[in-house]
Structure 1
Amino acid sequence: MIQFFQEVQSLDNRACAEFQLSHELLMENAANNLANFIRHIVSTKQIKPRKKDEKIKILIAAGPGNNGADSIALARILQDEFNIIVYLPFGTKSKLCMKQLERANALEIDFCTNRTSKTISVQYFLDTIENISLREWAKDADIIIDGLFGSGLNRPLDDKACEVIDWLNSLQGIKISCDIPSGISHEGDVMWTAFRADYSCIMGACTEAILADRVKDFIGEIHICSLGLSRKMYESMGKPSGFLLEKTDLKLPTRSQSHTHKGTFGHLVILMGEKEGAAILSALSAFQFGTGVVTIIGDSTTHIPSEIIHSFTLPTNPAAIAAGMGLGDFAFQDRRGVRDTLLNRPCLLDADILYQDITKEILEQNPRVVLTPHPKEFVALMRLLGIADCEVLDLQRDRFRFVRLFSHSYPNATLLLKGANHIIAQNDRLAVNYLGIPSLAKGGSGDVLSGLIAALLAQGIAPFEAACNASLAHTLAARSLECASYALTPQRLIEAVSRLEQRETK
Structure 2
Amino acid sequence: MQRLYRNCYAMDRKCYEEYGLTEDLLMEHAAEGMARQIRERFDAGARVLIAAGPGNNGADGITLARLLQGRYDVRLSLPLGAKSAMAKLQLERARKVGVPLAEAVEAAECIVDALFGAGLSRPLSEEITALVERLNDLEGFKLACDIPTGLDERGVPSPVAFRADLTVTMGALKEALYLDAAKEYVGRIECVDLGVERLLYEEESTTYLLEESDFLPPLRRDRPSAHKGSFGHAAVFCGEKEGAGILAGSAAARFGAGLTTLVIHEKLSAPPAFLMLSTTVPPRATALAIGMGLGEYFEEELLEKEVVDSSLPVVLDADAFAKPELLQIVHQENREVVITPHPAEFARLWKYLMKEELSVEEIQENRFELARRFSARFPRIVLLLKGANPIIAHLGELYVNPLGTVALAKGGSGDVLSGLIVALLAQGYEALDAAIQGSLALALAARSYEGADYSMLPTDLIERLGSLSSEE
TM-score by length of 2: 0.94
Q: Which moved more, 1:385-394 or 1:179-188?
A: 385-394
For residue 482 of structure 1, the aligned residue among 446, 450, 466 is: 450
Partner-residue secondary structure (3-state), 1:424: strand
Query: In the aligned structure 2, how far is the partner of 1:380 from the partner of 1:160?
Result: 40
Q: Match for 2:169: what amino acid?
A: I
Partner-residue secondary structure (3-state), 2:190: strand
Q: Which moved more, 1:189-198 or 1:384-393?
A: 384-393
Report the CA distance shift for 1:35/1:425 in structure 2 as closer, same or farther (over 3 A): same
CA shift, 1:209, in A, is: 2.0
Partner-residue secondary structure (3-state), 2:18: helix
Query: In the aligned structure 1, how far is the partner of 2:37 from the partner of 2:326?
Result: 48
Q: Match for 1:489: what amino acid?
A: L
CA shift, 1:293, in A, is: 0.9
Instruction: Tell me the residue number matched to 2:164.
Output: 197
CA shift, 1:320, in A, is: 0.6
Q: Match for 2:454: what amino acid?
A: Y
CA shift, 1:393, in A, is: 2.2
Q: How many pairs does the alignment contain?
A: 468
CA contact (8 A) 2:385 2:391 kept: yes
Instruction: Tell me the residue number matched to 1:113.
Output: none
CA contact (8 A) 1:6 1:241 kept: no
CA shift, 1:370, in A, is: 0.1
Tell me, yes or no, if structure 1 residue 262 matches structure 2 residue 239: no
CA shift, 1:401, in A, is: 2.0
Query: In the aligned structure 2, how far is the partner of 1:155 from the partner of 1:402?
Result: 21
Instruction: Tell me the residue number matched to 2:37.
Output: 37
Q: Match for 2:242: what amino acid?
A: E
Instruction: Tell me the residue number matched to 1:283.
Output: 249
Query: In the aligned structure 1, how far is the partner of 2:55 from the partner of 2:211?
Result: 32
Partner-residue secondary structure (3-state), 1:150: coil
Report the CA distance shift for 1:387/1:242 in structure 2 as closer, same or farther (over 3 A): farther
Report the CA distance shift for 1:335/1:206 in structure 2 as closer, same or farther (over 3 A): closer
Report the CA distance shift for 1:316/1:399 in structure 2 as closer, same or farther (over 3 A): same
Query: In the aligned structure 2, how far is the partner of 1:190 from the partner of 1:241?
Result: 25
CA shift, 1:332, in A, is: 4.7
Partner-residue secondary structure (3-state), 2:101: strand
CA contact (8 A) 1:313 1:336 kept: no
CA shift, 1:336, in A, is: 9.3
CA contact (8 A) 1:314 1:337 kept: no
CA shift, 1:80, in A, is: 3.4
For residue 448 of structure 1, the aligned residue among 406, 412, 416 is: 416
Query: In the aligned structure 2, how far is the partner of 1:505 from the partner of 1:68?
Result: 40
Instruction: Tell me the residue number matched to 2:87.
Output: 97
Q: Match for 1:265: what amino acid?
A: F
Query: In the aligned structure 1, how far is the partner of 2:331 from the partner of 2:304?
Result: 21
Partner-residue secondary structure (3-state), 1:411: coil
Instruction: Tell me the residue number matched to 1:376.
Output: 344
CA shift, 1:31, in A, is: 1.1
Tell me, yes or no, if structure 1 residue 273 matches structure 2 residue 239: yes
CA shift, 1:167, in A, is: 1.2
Instruction: Tell me the residue number matched to 1:305.
Output: 272
Tell me, yes or no, if structure 1 residue 62 matches structure 2 residue 52: yes
Query: In the aligned structure 1, how far is the partner of 2:130 from the partner of 2:330?
Result: 50
Partner-residue secondary structure (3-state), 1:302: coil
CA shift, 1:18, in A, is: 0.9
Identity of aligned pairs, percent? 43
Instruction: Tell me the residue number matched to 1:23.
Output: 23
Query: In the aligned structure 2, how far is the partner of 1:460 from the partner of 1:81?
Result: 58
Report the CA distance shift for 1:218/1:11 in structure 2 as closer, same or farther (over 3 A): same
Query: In the aligned structure 1, how far is the partner of 2:369 from the partner of 2:57?
Result: 28
Tell me, yes or no, if structure 1 residue 124 matches structure 2 residue 101: yes
Tell me, yes or no, if structure 1 residue 167 matches structure 2 residue 134: yes
CA contact (8 A) 2:144 2:164 kept: yes
Report the CA distance shift for 1:505/1:379 in structure 2 as closer, same or farther (over 3 A): closer
CA contact (8 A) 1:332 1:338 kept: no
Q: Match for 1:74: what amino acid?
A: L
Tell me, yes or no, if structure 1 residue 148 matches structure 2 residue 138: no
Query: In the aligned structure 2, how far is the partner of 1:79 from the partner of 1:60?
Result: 12
Report the CA distance shift for 1:332/1:262 in structure 2 as closer, same or farther (over 3 A): farther
Instruction: Tell me the residue number matched to 2:208.
Output: 243
CA shift, 1:169, in A, is: 0.5
Partner-residue secondary structure (3-state), 1:415: strand
Query: In the aligned structure 1, how far is the partner of 2:275 from the partner of 2:32?
Result: 56
CA contact (8 A) 2:424 2:434 kept: yes
Instruction: Tell me the residue number matched to 1:321.
Output: 288
Query: In the aligned structure 1, how far is the partner of 2:123 from the partner of 2:305?
Result: 57
For residue 359 of structure 2, the aligned residue among 391, 394, 397 is: 391
Instruction: Tell me the residue number matched to 2:74.
Output: 84
Q: Match for 1:436: what amino acid?
A: G
Query: In the aligned structure 1, how far is the partner of 2:420 from the partner of 2:37?
Result: 35
CA shift, 1:254, in A, is: 4.9
Instruction: Tell me the residue number matched to 1:217.
Output: 184
Instruction: Tell me the residue number matched to 1:118.
Output: none
CA contact (8 A) 1:314 1:336 kept: no
Gaps of 5+ in 1: 110-121, 130-134
Deviations along 1:322-368, whole A, 9 cap, x unmatched?
1000011222524795136x630111000111111223321222530
Query: In the aligned structure 2, how far is the partner of 1:314 from the partner of 1:233?
Result: 52
CA contact (8 A) 2:320 2:327 kept: no
CA contact (8 A) 2:290 2:315 kept: yes
Q: Which moved more, 1:410-419 or 1:151-160?
A: 151-160
CA shift, 1:30, in A, is: 1.0
Deviations along 1:118-159, whole A, 9 cap, x unmatched?
xxxx4221x344xxxxx3xx1xx2221111111142222122
CA shift, 1:248, in A, is: 1.2
Partner-residue secondary structure (3-state), 1:421: coil
Q: Following superposition of structure 1 onto structure 2, how do residues 353-372 of structure 1 map, counting pairs within 5 Å?
A: 353-365=320-332, 366-372=334-340
CA shift, 1:86, in A, is: 1.8
CA contact (8 A) 2:242 2:268 kept: no
Deviations along 1:225-272, whole A, 9 cap, x unmatched?
111221122112xx4241111111111115152322211111100011
Partner-residue secondary structure (3-state), 1:361: helix
Query: In the aligned structure 1, how far is the partner of 2:153 from the partner of 2:370?
Result: 18
Query: In the aligned structure 2, how far is the partner of 1:21 from the partner of 1:367?
Result: 49
Q: Match for 2:461: what amino acid?
A: L
Query: In the aligned structure 1, how far is the partner of 2:39 from the partner of 2:326?
Result: 53
For residue 299 of structure 2, the aligned residue among 331, 348, 366 is: 331
For residue 370 of structure 2, the aligned residue among 399, 402, 411 is: 402
